[in-house]
Amino acid sequence: MRANATLPVGTYGYQPVDLAFLNDRAAQFSDQVARRLSGDLSEDEFKPLRLMNGLYLQLHAYMLRVAIPYGVLSAAQLRRLARIARVYDRGYGHFTTRQNIQFNWIKLEEAPDILAELAEVGMHAIQTSGNCIRNITSDEFAGAAADELVDPRVHAEILRQWSTLHPEYSFLPRKFKFAISGNPHDRVAARFHDIGLIATPGADGAVGFEVFAGGGLGRTPAIGIRLREWLPEHELLAYMEAILRVYNAYGRRDNLYKARLKILVQALGREAFAEKVEAEFAAIPKERYRLGPDIVEAIRARFGKPYLDAPEDAPAELSKHRRRDHAFDLWVQTNSHPHRAAGYISVVMSLKPNGGIPGDASAVQMDAIADLAERFSSGEIRVTHLQNLVLGHVRQDELYTLWQALGPLGLATPNRGLITDIVCCPGLDYCSLANARSIPIAQRINERFANVELQQQIGPLRINISGCINACGHHHNADIGILGVDKKGEEFFQLTFGGRGEEDAAIGQIIGTALPESEAVNVISRVIDTYLARRVPNERFRDTYRRLGATFFKEAAYAAA
Amino acid sequence: MPLLECGRIVRDSWQKLADDAALPSAPCILSLSRLQQDEAVRTAPHLRLGVALPVDQPAEVLAPYLDRLSLVAVNFSTFRDGRGFTQARSLREHLAFSGEIRATGNILPDQYAFLLRCGITTVETLDGTDPAAWQKAADRFSFAYQPSVLKEPVLSGLRRTMRLGLPRDTDSQLIGN
């Protein structure tokens, strides 16, 4: 009712040709599944085809990863995900650190039906897996944040389209991840992606990009190198072609674990890699790959705009409710972000309730969130790379009503950015790669620090958990990283400290031996106790850690271990 | 091996020439090292030459010989190794090579559109290959979201109308149905 009636808000409005494309893709996969089931395709031949449609073979069943481009969903799309969870899975889905959703209990025979259902609402699983360009991730407050300089979703969509079934880059040495932000405060971990882009405005409204390449986590964490300080918009695709072409030609293919771009950058060295990219870029026919302003504007025009017209007393209404209700005030304090429009606010719905599984949402919750998004936020929902959901455009005078509706759904946990807002991979409960279960230790930490006041007292602190060295839980770039390892058949956990994902990116350091689950939780408790005892007023954990140093914390935390 | 061109099987007039074989009169595909080292073969009059470009070599190594080459073969030791796509595209885009680019090795029909859009014109397939499966795979999508060396017409925005079933301009007599 409030939104532009013809276009979805926040997502790219598919045109009939785009929908036809998705139907063709679904039909293609249906065909491939039929060829596999009849034996025409061997499993070896089928594997890369199913992976490029997001279908993994996990421990117990197939897992389908559905793309949520730059993390934005319409209410209709979220309802469809709820339906898929209900009909084809066990009633829930798992939101991932790449802003996608995974369904863990899928039957191969039903995967084509699911893709057909997704295509009906302009969704797909294209390139959510496989050695190709994956989902383009972006800032969860894109187009809403008060501190944003450029809305990155338009260029994220351009990159999504350009990379879709790219003829040259669909069989790369390894997977390839993009992140793009339009905010000087990097909420997308741009420096930890194969390519990270920060869009910045130039003179006369022009847009350019700071370009980072060769970052990543996994077995060999690396911070991306800066290739360009300001790449003009019209050269964006030509320059991306140049980086990808160098990678496709020279990236290693003999060793799965040394095949990512970061290894090539390290092997060639920063200078030599940059030289190769620039030489390739110089040779590329610029006119063919030119991203003209007409194309940018045509794509921008397919994004519906939220209806932003709050009454003047909206902020006063919000203040009134905050004064009257302490629990609400606490939630607003932790789980909201300032909006660019007067009288509006963005809010984070935590998917990290006490005792829950980080990133999981039930079909009931998804349906309810879709309803709330339509009622309160122009029908738009965002997925964050920290595995929470966001309503981007909420009127401040309606926030209290929204909060009251979220509570009974288990979606009003006031812990965004706090110690229980844990990022966690599915781990050995689901994943065939994992060495350890990551969900239970997340739940133990959650229980240990369940007290809301204590969490507030501890303040901003990231804990990320990966069940193996592939680092899907991003343990390298958290204040406290937890890595599951296998020690003679038993689950142990290696702790790292001091990682950061933002513009001051850093890789966490190991300061002690791997420990069994309960001991690892005890060490974390002692580290937190030490921090609380030694911090100066208002000092964040990361700053205290940096000031006092790893050795100090090691002695304090591992003394009794 | 059956040779696929424009979605149908055509006669293959090329033969591979061993490094120690005598100079033939029919069109032949040389190894890169023979092309580089054998001046007699390069200067042989009226002999059509092709070369098998090793997968770990950039297309640019062929720059000195391109005016002598009618065919470049790029190899896919496995369909998962996509270097041949970049080699083909570099040949068309950077070196303006206009002859035949042939894909050899382990290739799936599902990759046919990618091959064509990177400038590959012929594919060596396995005995018993059904060309209809390749044609069907290539015709799956009517447009693509990025430019390619085929210089396809703009449909709208980034979209390009795909015209893969059609042969290149110079081969109009081979238009299939």
If one counts every other C-beta atom within 10 angstroms of the C-beta of residue A120, the result is 14
Is it the case that residue B177 has pLDDT exceeding 50?
no
Pairing of strands B28-31, B15-16: parallel
CA nearest neighbour of B103 among B83, B74, B62, B129 = B74
Asked if residue B93 and residue B113 are part of one domain, the reply reads yes
Q: Give yes or no: residues B119 and B164 share one domain.
A: no
Q: Which of A154, A171, A303 to mutate to test the interface with B (most CBs of B within 10 A)?
A: A171
User: Which residues 79-108 of chain B have a CB within 8 Å of chain A?
Assistant: 79-83, 85-87, 89-90, 93-94, 108
The average confidence (pLDDT) of chain B is: 90
pTM value is 0.94
Domain A145-300 has CATH 3.30.413.10: yes
Kind plus residue range of the DSSP H or E element containing A483: strand A480-487
- Give CA–CA dist B79/A131, Å, rounded: 12
Question: pLDDT tens across A334-357, in order?
Answer: 999 999 999 999 999 999 998 888
| CATH 3.30.413.10 fits domain A423-558 | yes
Q: Which amino acid is at A60?
A: H
How do beta strands A509-510 and B3-5 pair?
Answer: unpaired
Predicted complex ipTM exceeds 0.90: yes
- Per-residue pLDDT of A352-403, as tens digits, reads 998 888 999 999 999 999 999 999 999 999 999 999 999 999 999 999 999 9
Give the pLDDT band (50/70/90) at residue A560. low
- The string over A14-48, giving b where at least 16 C-beta atoms fall within 10 Å of a residue's C-beta and e elsewhere, is beeebeebbebbbebbebbbebbeeeebeeebbbb
Where in chain A are all domains bearing CATH 3.90.480.10?
13-26+54-124+306-408
Q: Which CATH architecture has domain A13-26+54-124+306-408?
A: Alpha-Beta Complex (3.90)
Give the model's pLDDT for residue A5.
52
- CA–CA separation, A480 and A419 (whole Å): 9
Query: Is A21 within 8 Å of B155 when comparing Cβ atoms?
Result: no
Residue in the block written with tokens 């594997």:
A47
Task: Please name every residue paired with A497 in a beta bridge, in sequence order, or none if there are none.
Answer: A480, A509
Give me the pLDDT at residue A355, please: 84
Q: Where in chain A is the domain with CATH 3.30.413.10?
A: 145-300, 423-558
The pLDDT tens digits for A132-148 are 999 999 999 999 999 99
Q: Is the domain of B122 the same as that of B154?
A: no
pLDDT exceeds 90 at position A21: yes
Which positions in chain A touch B82 (Cβ < 8 Å)?
131, 168-172, 248
pLDDT at B168 over 50: no
Query: Is residue A257 predicted with pLDDT exceeding 80?
Result: yes
Distance in Å, alpha carbon of A161 to nearest chain B alpha carbon: 6
**Total number of domains in chain B:** 2
* Per-residue pLDDT tens over the stretch B8-34: 899 999 999 999 999 888 999 999 999
Plot region of A535 (φ>0 → left; ψ -120 to 50 → alpha; else → beta): beta
Q: Strand pairing partners for A65?
A: A102
Alpha-carbon distances of B104 from B60, B66, B125, B171, rounded to whole Å: 19, 20, 8, 21
Mean pLDDT of A217-246: 96
pLDDT beyond 50 at A2: no
Please indicate whether, in this complex, the C-beta atoms of B140 and A27 are within 8 angstroms of each other: yes
Q: What mean pLDDT value characterizes chain A?
A: 94
pLDDT digit string, tens, across residues A86-109: 999 999 999 999 999 999 999 999
Q: According to the model, what pLDDT value does residue A504 have?
A: 87
Instruction: State how far residue B145 is from chain A, nearest Cα, in angstroms.
Output: 5
| DSSP H stretches of helix in A109-213 | 111-120, 153-163
Burial track B37-59 (b if 16+ CB lie within 10 A, e otherwise): ebeebbebeebbbbbbbebeeeb
The reply to whether residue B158 touches residue A162, judged by beta carbons under 8 angstroms, is yes
Chain A CB contacts of B80 below 8 Å: 48, 131, 171
Choose the closest CB to B82 out of A171, A237, A295: A171
Which of B57, B85, B135 is the best residue to mutate to test the A interface, defined by the most A CB atoms within 10 Å of its own CB? B85
Q: Which residue has the higher pLDDT, A75 or A354?
A: A75
Are B34 and B113 found together in one domain? yes
Residue A394 CB neighbours (<10 A) = 28
Residue B133 structural domain: 3-140
Partners of A20 on chain B (C-beta within 8 Å) are 142
> Could you tell me if B132 and B157 lie in one domain?
no
pLDDT above 60: residue B104: yes
CATH number at residue B56: 3.20.20.70
Residue B167 predicted with pLDDT over 60: no
- Clarify whether residues B57 and B136 are in a common domain: yes
A439-474 pLDDT, tens per residue? Answer: 999 999 999 999 999 999 999 999 999 999 989 899
Nearest Cβ partner of A170 from B82, B89, B142? B82
Tell me which chain A residue has its CA closest to the CA of residue B110. Answer: A49
* Tokens 């045509």, located at residue: A298
Residue B33 and residue B10 share a domain: yes
User: What's the pLDDT band for A124 if we cut at 50, 70, 90?
Assistant: very high
**Mutation choice for A interface testing from B55, B80, B136 by most A CBs within 10 A:** B80
Could you say which DSSP state residue A500 is in?
Answer: B
**Gap between the Cα atoms of A220 and A192, Å rounded:** 11
Pairing of strands B28-31, B49-53: parallel
In this structure, the number of other CB atoms found within 10 A of the CB of residue A480 comes to 27
Strands (E), A384-435: 389-395, 423-424
